[in-house]
Amino acid sequence: MEKRGHNFLDITGKRFGRLIAVKPVTGVGKTVWLCKCDCGNEKEILVSYLTSGDTKSCGCLKEELEEKHLREKYDDKRVDGVAMHLFGDEPRKDSKTGYRGVFEYRTRVSKQLRYGAWITVAGKRYYKKGFETAEDAYYNGRLKLEKEYLPKKDDKNDN
């Protein structure tokens, strides 16, 4: 190993979270270490970040935690396994009809424009079709489907 200053901290082979210090690399005024992560990636990290505990992985730990917490937040909004937050009044930005869960189609024989409503509950799709207006499809189709197939909120789930 090349000669370093008297404050040089040799951490070769030491573990810092998911990282193992491999070798020092050139840094401008500060010691930078090449580290190997448990996931297989290599990353150059300041020694102070390793010793303080600020850096514990190449970034893979942060990604895993973000995905885990995102999934938990999503699951917390479920009622009887149904993602209730997906059912609301606001239409999606790509909605052609202006209503959430309402689509337009043409009849097979006469090619007349009609509207239908749909919802997905626990992986199963439910439809009501044949409405003359998008508004009718929403109020007499979509909302009736929600009332029929969505789990009923009870007092413990009302917040």
Is 92 part of a structural domain of the chain?
Answer: yes
C-alpha distances in Å from residue 143, one per residue of 49, 89, 100: 54, 10, 10
Residue 83: pLDDT above 70? no
At 133, the pLDDT band (50, 70, 90 cuts) reads: very high
- Tell me what the mean pLDDT of segment 107-117 comes to: 95
Q: Within this chain, do residues 53 and 77 fall inside the same structural domain, yes or no?
A: no
**Which sign, positive or negative, has the C-alpha torsion 143, 147, 151, 156?**
positive
Structure tokens belonging to residue 78: 């479920």
Selected residue with higher pLDDT from 158 and 101: 101
What total of structural domains would you count in the chain? 2
Domain containing residue 82: 70-149
Cβ atoms 21, 12 nearer than 8 A: yes
Per-residue model confidence as pLDDT tens digits over 25-45 = 976 667 899 999 999 999 999
At 50, the pLDDT band (50, 70, 90 cuts) reads: very high
At 22, the pLDDT band (50, 70, 90 cuts) reads: very high
Q: Within this chain, do residues 83 and 142 fall inside the same structural domain, yes or no?
A: yes
C-alpha distances in Å from residue 75, one per residue of 44, 71, 72, 78, 86: 36, 6, 5, 5, 12
